[in-house]
């Protein structure tokens, strides 16, 4: 029995699926080297899907489809909207790069991106263990293929292998954990699992045992210490456009999975998973920040910086439930969501610059390749500087409010140990400031070095998107109110519907 509401719930996914297939077919007839036809079609699809999701999100309603297998709620719709826009931006930045590197000989970049996005959509709106897992696999399998897209490139192939092996292991962890939970509670449906756990009829040991595996699997996808080993190598080895595809939208999906599994499914176990997240967060802050200082390759540096940023995101997730009290959940998880969204926005800016600086035959991956960028192109240097200052968490940029929200949630919990954690996080972000500043230093204080002395040109579409991207980072820093409200309201509609 499939009712009408169920179809409404998955309209965007259907559009995405159909268009991904259509584009794969249409692409066969495209002869131009830059594949303008499929490129435009892909961008249109993404824009339409983003608009649909925004429409759902503005409606603000929560409803389930296909017998509670999928859910449509504001958080999910907003995240899906942002994810589509992220992929769109990535493709705009990455097309010249991909064309120069023989990655547009077929249209795989576009189709695989769309399939990966479809996986992300399913991950975000799945409300059933199996559906979530299916979405995850669809996303990661597309990602493995994307990383290996330059198949005659040794480091990319190595990165793909590493990603695949470790990713499969992590998926295995997650699946094992989910099966433990299924065994303990007798259901795959997240609401029923929640009710079973809340009833306290289920054996605690089994739950915690499964929980450990779930947290480990999710931690791997997020790239949190100690499950971060794959991240620097994949970021470094993958073609930069794929790095951005892997590091942007999937983080939003992983965040959504944290909320779906840990909050919607297992909030009564918060005491247990918060401890694990706390350790992962501390580890990520230490390893990410310290290792990033030592990097000379900017992609590796950004990879370690991602690890530290994810540590901050986790800090928000562990501040929700204090002494069994759920008053803090909205602001804490809302802060984490804000963090995830703004992190993706910022990393788009940073990787976008790296993508646009590359030329045929020159990768522009070292930090020193940015030398004197301010003299070559003030706009690019400005956007990169804004990204760096934002990642460092400096006002008046959007990254500051992200950190502020998370730290504020920790302090509002009123626990002394959390206040100590805040001081620790603050000191770590001081270390972080050092390596972000170093990038600014190279761009503004150093003179251009050969072979990077020419002025830079980029296609008009990339320039426009880049300017918007930079303006958003600054504009949301000056007026962050609406995005903060959006995130908290999204989370609050979830918290209110818990267990229903």
User: Measured between alpha carbons, how far apart are the two ends of the chain, in Å?
Assistant: 22
**Minimum CB–partner distance for residue 178 and another protein (Å):** 34
**Minimum CB–partner distance for residue 406 and another protein (Å):** 11
234 binds another protein (CB under 8 A): no
422 binds another protein (CB under 8 A): yes
Torsional sign, CA 452, 305, 473, 89 = positive
**Count of residues making up the chain:** 500
Residue 470 tokens read as 């930079």
Residue 469 tokens read as 């991207």
454 binds another protein (CB under 8 A): no
**Minimum CB–partner distance for residue 129 and another protein (Å):** 33
**Minimum CB–partner distance for residue 101 and another protein (Å):** 33
**Minimum CB–partner distance for residue 362 and another protein (Å):** 26
Relative to beta strand 70-72, strand 63-65 is antiparallel
Q: Are 241 and 90 in contact (CB under 8 A)?
A: yes
285 binds another protein (CB under 8 A): no
Q: By CB under 8 A, name the one of 17, 279, 419, 456 that touches another protein.
A: 419
Residues 6+ apart with CB under 8 A from 102: 150
411 binds another protein (CB under 8 A): yes
Q: At residue 417, what are phi and psi to the nearest 5 degrees? A: -65, -30
Q: By CB under 8 A, name the one of 240, 429, 452, 469 that touches another protein.
A: 429
To 10 degrees, what angle do helices 329-357 and 460-478 make? 150
**Minimum CB–partner distance for residue 453 and another protein (Å):** 16
Q: Are 113 and 89 in contact (CB under 8 A)?
A: no
Stretch that binds another protein, among 26-34, 302-310, 319-327, 373-381 (CB under 8 A): 373-381
290 binds another protein (CB under 8 A): no
Residue 98 tokens read as 């991909």
Stretch that binds another protein, among 126-134, 240-248, 462-470, 475-483 (CB under 8 A): 475-483
Residue 143 tokens read as 């990602």
Q: Are 500 and 191 in contact (CB under 8 A)?
A: yes
Nearer to another protein, 106 or 372 (CB): 372
Beta-bridge mates of residue 391: none
466 binds another protein (CB under 8 A): no
Beta-bridge mates of residue 72: 63
Q: Rounded distance, CA 148 to CA 143, Å? A: 9
Site map (CB under 8 A) of another protein, residues 322-351, x = contact: ------------x-----------------
**Minimum CB–partner distance for residue 225 and another protein (Å):** 22
Q: In the complex, which residues of this chain contact another protein (CB under 8 A)? A: 334, 374-375, 378, 382, 389, 394-396, 400-401, 404-405, 407-408, 411-412, 414, 419, 422-423, 426-427, 429-430, 433-434, 437, 440-441, 444-445, 479-481, 484-485, 488
């Amino acid at each position: 029995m499939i009712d009408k509401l169920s179809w409404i719930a998955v309209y965007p996914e259907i559009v995405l699926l159909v268009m991904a297939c259509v584009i794969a077919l249409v692409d066969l007839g495209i002869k131009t080297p830059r594949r303008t036809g499929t490129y435009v079609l892909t961008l249109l699809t993404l824009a339409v899907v983003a608009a649909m999701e925004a429409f759902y999100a503005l409606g603000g309603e929560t409803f389930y489809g296909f017998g509670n297998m999928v859910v449509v709620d504001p958080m999910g719709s907003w995240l899906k909207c942002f994810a589509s826009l992220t992929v769109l931006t990535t493709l705009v930045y990455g097309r010249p790069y991909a064309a120069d590197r023989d990655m547009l000989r077929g249209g795989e970049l576009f189709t695989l991106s769309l399939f990966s996005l479809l996986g992300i959509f399913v991950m975000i709106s799945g409300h059933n263990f199996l559906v979530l897992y299916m979405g995850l696999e669809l996303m990661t399998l597309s990602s493995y293929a994307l990383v290996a897209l330059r198949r005659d490139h040794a480091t990319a192939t190595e990165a793909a292998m590493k990603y695949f092996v470790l990713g499969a292991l992590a998926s295995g962890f997650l699946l094992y954990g989910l099966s433990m939970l299924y065994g303990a509670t007798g259901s795959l449906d997240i609401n029923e699992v929640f009710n079973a756990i809340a009833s306290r009829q289920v054996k605690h040991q089994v739950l915690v045992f499964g929980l450990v595996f779930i947290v480990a699997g999710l931690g791997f996808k997020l790239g949190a210490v100690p499950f971060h080993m794959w991240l620097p190598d994949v970021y470094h080895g993958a073609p930069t456009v794929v790095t951005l595809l892997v590091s942007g939208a999937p983080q939003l999906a992983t965040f959504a999975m944290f909320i779906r599994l840990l909050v919607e499914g297992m909030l009564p176990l918060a005491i247990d998973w918060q401890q694990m997240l706390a350790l992962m967060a501390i580890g990520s802050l230490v390893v990410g920040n310290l290792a990033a200082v030592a990097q000379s390759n900017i992609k590796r540096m950004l990879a370690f910086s991602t690890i530290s940023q994810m540590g901050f995101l986790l800090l928000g997730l562990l501040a929700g439930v204090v002494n069994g009290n759920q008053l803090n959940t909205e602001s804490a998880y809302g802060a984490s969501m804000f963090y995830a969204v703004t992190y993706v926005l910022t990393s788009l800016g940073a990787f976008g610059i790296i993508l646009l600086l590359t030329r045929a035959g020159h990768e522009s991956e070292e930090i020193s390749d940015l030398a004197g960028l301010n003299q070559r192109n003030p706009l690019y240097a400005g956007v990169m500087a804004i990204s760096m200052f934002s990642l460092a968490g400096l006002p008046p940029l959007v990254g500051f409010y992200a950190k502020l929200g998370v730290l504020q949630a920790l302090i509002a919990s009123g626990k002394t140990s959390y206040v100590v954690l805040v001081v620790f996080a603050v000191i770590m972000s001081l270390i972080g400031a050092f390596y972000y500043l170093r990038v600014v230093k190279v761009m503004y204080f150093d003179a251009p070095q050969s072979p990077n002395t020419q002025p830079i040109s980029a296609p008009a579409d990339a320039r426009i998107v880049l300017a918007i991207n930079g303006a958003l980072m600054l504009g949301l820093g000056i007026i962050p109110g609406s995005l903060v409200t959006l995130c908290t309201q999204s989370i609050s509609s979830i918290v209110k519907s818990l267990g229903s």
